[in-house]
């Protein structure tokens, strides 16, 4: 038995590691270790519900919109349950959906080109796809330019990115005019043109397989399909097999019918089970047997206390909890959403990944690429349905007593915020992130998390370069606590800040 430790595993930030036991060239056991205590829930206690979105929105420097919306939905739900609030305006809902859709496109581009793409590039894996080469590849550089355009579009509505201030309890605290909406549409269309038309996928797939490139069919689409073709050739369909159990909170309502584009519920035993919000909330629990938290921090997130650290706990190996749905692990993310909703555009997962509902490393990549096209085709519809002249904010109460849950669906998977408010102050707060569902630790029954189980059985040809292990880990798009951490050395330093607008420079000193 050979022990292999990989730390960090991600390209986005370094708070995750894997401890592997390798026997006869195969992984016999895996432990997913989260290395940092976050504690955002504790910070909210004693504060006004209005503060929760501002505080929890900084849980992540990448998923910066979803936490603000999830938190706002939780405090709004608590106020509604208290009989003190009637809900947010309709066009605030549409704008929240549209912004989340733009964020999906931005985040998926980061994942496909910067976080996963290099694993299938010529520079890293000799695949021949040099457009995917990090920093220098034309496809990589094109993706960066279009991510910038999407971030600019987000800033038009949110005021800044990351960590916009506009999404608050009560709706959206911004006043976009027709010109702003048109500017956002223009930027999204530019990105859409770079990506290429959805119906070109079959032709682009044939081009990539034959080593051809036709920019008229979409530069971005050729590069995204190149990642999928490279992954298929590298055997990714035989890696990272999960239990084919999926969970989604649902997202993106059709403006006219109100039906969700991505359905809410679970998929298990080969079939979809639609669920209400109350049924989902009742099914979720968290286990802390192998987490650096007390036993009192476990249980139903609607009842358990905010996470209480126990860093010296025997047997623990992760700062993440182990969420379970009816006692079972559930995979979340693009593959979960598309499987639950019955989407497999052009039968890519069925034909390339062993089945539309099969959980494996290749299908996670395919589903993310498919979702880019699905969401791209919906974002402009949402923007067309949005009327900036309609109300976007409703009066939100300052003093109420109630319990609320905010279910949301970021690009990485299901997110839920839980809040108890007593006389206008937060008494209890809990957050379950998508990453916890996918890469948390074992539970008290010894059942591994989704990622721990997916890696077991995979071959490790070279323990000095376990690239297939990394490919599987990154296929889940793990994201833990990617905020900016500053550690000031002793002594003094000085730096110059150049403002974006004219007016000189400011010297900043510190001891």
Q: What is the pLDDT of residues 364-414, one digit of tens each?
A: 999 999 999 999 999 999 999 999 999 999 999 999 999 999 999 999 999
Could you tell me which residue, 4 or 160, shows the higher pLDDT?
4
Q: Is 29 annotated as a binding residue?
A: no
Mean pLDDT (whole number) for 104-121:
92
Compute the distance between CA of residue 76 and CA of residue 172 in angstroms, rounded to an integer: 13
The phi-psi region of residue 39 (left if phi > 0; otherwise alpha if psi is between -120 and 50; otherwise beta) is left
Model pTM? Answer: 0.91
Classify burial at 120, counting beta carbons within 10 Å of its beta carbon; exposed 0-12, middle 13-18, buried 19 or more. Answer: buried
Nearby residues of 485 by Cβ (< 8 Å), 6 or more positions away: none
pLDDT for residue 321 is more than 90: yes
Q: Is 23 annotated as a binding residue?
A: no
* CA atoms 30, 310, 416, 379: torsion sign: negative
Both tokens of 61, joined, read: 């420097």
**Residue 475 near residue 120 (C-beta atoms within 8 A):** no
pLDDT band with cut points at 50, 70 and 90 for residue 490: low
Compute the distance between CA of residue 184 and CA of residue 187 in angstroms, rounded to an integer: 5
Helices assigned H by DSSP within 29-63: 40-44, 49-56
Nearby residues of 206 by Cβ (< 8 Å), 6 or more positions away: none
Listing DSSP states for 396-421 in one string gives: --SS--EEEEEEE--TTS-EEEEEEE
The phi-psi region of residue 289 (left if phi > 0; otherwise alpha if psi is between -120 and 50; otherwise beta) is alpha
Mean pLDDT (whole number) for 144-172:
87
pLDDT for residue 231 is more than 80: yes
Q: Is 66 annotated as a binding residue?
A: no
Cis peptide before 8 (omega within 30 of 0): yes
Compute the distance between CA of residue 285 and CA of residue 274 in angstroms, rounded to an integer: 19
| pLDDT, tens digit (0-9, with 9 covering 90-100), for 185-208 | 999 999 999 999 999 999 999 999
Q: What φ, ψ does residue 199 adopt, rounded to 5°?
A: -70, -5
pLDDT band with cut points at 50, 70 and 90 for residue 1: confident
Cα end-to-end distance, the chain, whole Å: 50
Mean pLDDT (whole number) for 415-428:
96
């Amino acid at each position: 038995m050979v022990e292999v430790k990989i730390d960090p595993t991600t390209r986005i930030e370094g708070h995750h590691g894997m401890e592997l036991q390798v026997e006869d060239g195969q992984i016999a056991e895996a432990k997913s270790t989260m290395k940092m205590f976050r504690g955002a829930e504790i910070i909210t206690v004693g504060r006004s519900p209005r503060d929760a979105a501002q505080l929890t929105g900084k849980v992540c420097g990448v998923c910066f919109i979803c936490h603000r919306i999830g938190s706002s939905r939780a405090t709004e739900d608590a106020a509604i349950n208290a009989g003190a609030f009637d809900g947010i305006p309709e066009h605030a809902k549409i704008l929240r959906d549209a912004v989340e859709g733009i964020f999906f496109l931005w985040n998926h581009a980061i994942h496909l080109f910067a976080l996963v793409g290099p694993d299938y590039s010529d520079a890293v894996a000799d695949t021949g796809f040099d457009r995917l080469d990090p920093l220098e590849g034309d496809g990589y550089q094109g993706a960066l330019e279009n991510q910038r355009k999407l971030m600019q579009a987000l800033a038009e509505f949110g005021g800044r990115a990351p960590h916009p201030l506009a999404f608050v309890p009560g709706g959206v605290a911004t006043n976009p005019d027709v010109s702003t909406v048109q500017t956002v549409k223009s930027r999204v269309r530019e990105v859409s043109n770079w990506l290429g038309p959805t119906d070109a996928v079959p032709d682009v797939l044939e081009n990539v397989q034959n080593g051809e490139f036709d920019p008229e069919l979409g530069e971005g689409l050729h590069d995204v399909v190149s990642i999928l073709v490279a992954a298929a050739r590298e055997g990714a369909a035989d890696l990272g097999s999960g239990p084919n159990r999926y969970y989604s909170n649902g997202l993106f309502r059709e403006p006219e019918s109100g039906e969700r584009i991505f359905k809410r519920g679970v998929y298990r035993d080969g079939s979809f089970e639609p669920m209400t919000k109350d049924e989902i909330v009742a099914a979720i629990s968290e286990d802390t047997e192998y987490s650096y938290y007390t036993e009192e921090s476990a249980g139903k997130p609607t009842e358990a206390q905010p996470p209480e650290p126990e860093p010296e706990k025997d047997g623990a190996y992760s700062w993440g909890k182990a969420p379970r749905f009816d006692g079972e692990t559930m995979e979340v993310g693009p593959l979960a959403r598309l499987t639950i909703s019955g989407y497999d555009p052009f039968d890519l997962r069925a034909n390339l990944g062993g089945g539309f509902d099969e959980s494996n490393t290749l299908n996670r990549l395919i589903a993310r690429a498919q979702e880019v096209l699905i969401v791209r085709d919906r974002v402009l519809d949402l923007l067309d349905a949005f009327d900036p002249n309609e109300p976007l904010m409703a009066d939100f109460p300052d003093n109420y007593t109630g319990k609320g849950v905010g279910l949301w669906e970021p690009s990485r998977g299901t997110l839920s915020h839980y809040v108890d408010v007593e006389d206008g102050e937060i008494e209890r707060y809990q957050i379950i992130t998508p990453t916890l569902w996918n890469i948390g630790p074992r539970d008290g029954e010894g059942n591994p998390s989704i990622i721990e189980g997916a890696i077991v059985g995979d071959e490790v040809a070279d323990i000095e370069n376990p690239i297939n292990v990394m490919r599987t880990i990154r296929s889940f798009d793990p994201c833990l606590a990617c905020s900016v951490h500053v550690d000031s050395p002793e002594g003094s330093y000085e730096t110059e800040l150049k403002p974006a607008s004219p007016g000189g420079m400011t010297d900043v000193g510190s001891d």
